[in-house]
Amino acid sequence: MDSRTNSEKEIIKRIRIAFLVLFVISAILLTRLFFLQVVSGAYYKTQASRQQNFSQVLTPRRGEIYLRERSGEQFPLASTKEGYLLFINPKKLENPEEVFAKLSRVADLDREEFFMRAAKKTDPYEVVAHNLERTEAEKIEALEIENIGVVPEEWRVYPAKSMASHVVGFLGYKDDELLGQYGLERYFEDILRGTTGWVAGSQSAGGIILELGRRLFSPPEEGYDIVLTLEPNVQVFIEKKLKEIKETWQPSRGGAVVMDPQTGKILAMAAFPNFDPNNYGDEESLNVFVNPLVENIYEFGSVFKPLTVAAGLDKGVITPETTYYDHGFLELDGFTIRNFDGKGRGETTIQKVLEESLNTGAAFVAQKLGKKSMKEYFENYGLAEKTNITLPGEVKGNLANLNSTREVEFATASFGQGVATTPIAFARAAASLANGGKLVEPYLVERVIRPGREDVVYEAKKARQILKPETSETISRMMVKVADDALLGGTVKFKHWTAAAKTGTAQIPSPDGKGYSEEYLHSFLAWAPGFDAKFLLFMYIEKPQGVRYGSQSLGPYYDDIMQFLLTYYDVPPDR
Radius of gyration of the chain from its Cα atoms, rounded to whole angstroms: 37
Q: Are 196 and 57 in contact (CB under 8 A)?
A: yes
Q: Are 159 and 67 in contact (CB under 8 A)?
A: no
**Interval 494-541: pLDDT, tens:** 999 999 999 999 999 998 888 899 999 999 999 999 999 999 999 999
Residue 32, pLDDT score: 53
Q: CA-based angle 210:212:217, to the nearest 5?
A: 155
Measure the CA–CA gap between 224 and 455, rounded to whole angstroms.
9
Distance of CA 196 to the CA centre of its chain: 24
Asked whether the predicted pLDDT for residue 51 surpasses 60, the reply is no
Residue 5, pLDDT score: 61
Nearest residue to 443 (alpha-carbon basis) of 223, 273, 262: 262
Q: How many residues does the structure list for the chain?
A: 575
Asked whether the predicted pLDDT for residue 171 surpasses 70, the reply is yes
Mean pLDDT of the chain: 89
Amino acid at 274: N
In which band, very low, low, confident or very high, does the pLDDT at 476 lie, cut at 50, 70 and 90?
very high
Measure the CA–CA gap between 90 and 70, rounded to whole angstroms.
54
* Residue 11: C-alpha distances to residues 6, 8, 14, 16, 266 (Å): 9, 5, 5, 9, 107
Strands (DSSP E) contained in 109-169 are: 126-132, 148-157
**Interval 429-448: pLDDT, tens:** 999 999 999 999 999 999 99
Nearest residue to 525 (alpha-carbon basis) of 341, 273, 354: 354
* Residue 415: C-alpha distances to residues 213, 323, 335, 507 (Å): 71, 18, 15, 11
Cis peptide before 320 (omega within 30 of 0): no
Residue 174, pLDDT score: 83
Residue 510, pLDDT score: 92
In which band, very low, low, confident or very high, does the pLDDT at 8 lie, cut at 50, 70 and 90?
low
Measure the CA–CA gap between 268 and 241, rounded to whole angstroms.
12
Q: Are 361 and 326 in contact (CB under 8 A)?
A: yes
Residue 20, pLDDT score: 59
Q: What is the mean pLDDT of residues 16-33?
A: 58
Nearest residue to 156 (alpha-carbon basis) of 125, 136, 137, 182: 182
Q: Are 543 and 511 in contact (CB under 8 A)?
A: no
Asked whether the predicted pLDDT for residue 218 surpasses 80, the reply is no
Q: Are 431 and 383 in contact (CB under 8 A)?
A: no
Residue 321, pLDDT score: 98
Measure the CA–CA gap between 156 and 61, rounded to whole angstroms.
10
In which band, very low, low, confident or very high, does the pLDDT at 453 lie, cut at 50, 70 and 90?
confident
**Interval 532-544: pLDDT, tens:** 999 999 999 999 9
Q: What is the maximum span of the chain, computed from C-alpha positions, in angstroms?
A: 160
Identify any residues that bridge with 245 across adjacent strands, giving them in sequence order: none
Residue 186, pLDDT score: 97
Measure the CA–CA gap between 25 and 74, rounded to whole angstroms.
80
Residue 151, pLDDT score: 86
* Residue 431: C-alpha distances to residues 235, 387, 442, 468, 476 (Å): 20, 13, 10, 13, 11
Q: What is the mean pLDDT of residues 227-242?
A: 98
Asked whether the predicted pLDDT for residue 89 surpasses 50, the reply is yes
Asked whether the predicted pLDDT for residue 45 surpasses 50, the reply is no
Measure the CA–CA gap between 343 and 338, rounded to whole angstroms.
8
Q: CA-based angle 569:555:340, to the nearest 5?
A: 145
Q: Are 249 and 544 in contact (CB under 8 A)?
A: yes
Asked whether the predicted pLDDT for residue 364 surpasses 60, the reply is yes
In which band, very low, low, confident or very high, does the pLDDT at 452 lie, cut at 50, 70 and 90?
confident
Measure the CA–CA gap between 534 and 568, rounded to whole angstroms.
12
Measure the CA–CA gap between 378 and 367, rounded to whole angstroms.
14
Question: Among positive and negative, which fits the CA dihedral 91, 95, 99, 100?
Answer: positive
The string of DSSP codes covering 547-573 is: ---HHHHHHHHHHHHHHHHHHHTTPPP
Residue 140, pLDDT score: 92
Asked whether the predicted pLDDT for residue 283 surpasses 60, the reply is yes
Number of other CB atoms surrounding residue 220 within 10 Å? 16
Q: What percent of the chain has pLDDT over 90?
A: 75
Asked whether the predicted pLDDT for residue 47 surpasses 50, the reply is no
Q: What is the mean pLDDT of residues 108-114?
A: 92
Q: What is the mean pLDDT of residues 45-71?
A: 71
In which band, very low, low, confident or very high, does the pLDDT at 405 lie, cut at 50, 70 and 90?
very high
Residue 201, pLDDT score: 60
Q: Report which secondary-structure segment, H or E, holds 186.
A: helix 183-187
- Residues with Cβ < 8 Å from 428, sequence gap 6 or more? 259, 264, 382, 387, 439, 440, 441, 442
- Residues with Cβ < 8 Å from 170, sequence gap 6 or more? 156, 158, 180, 181, 182, 183, 185, 277, 280, 289
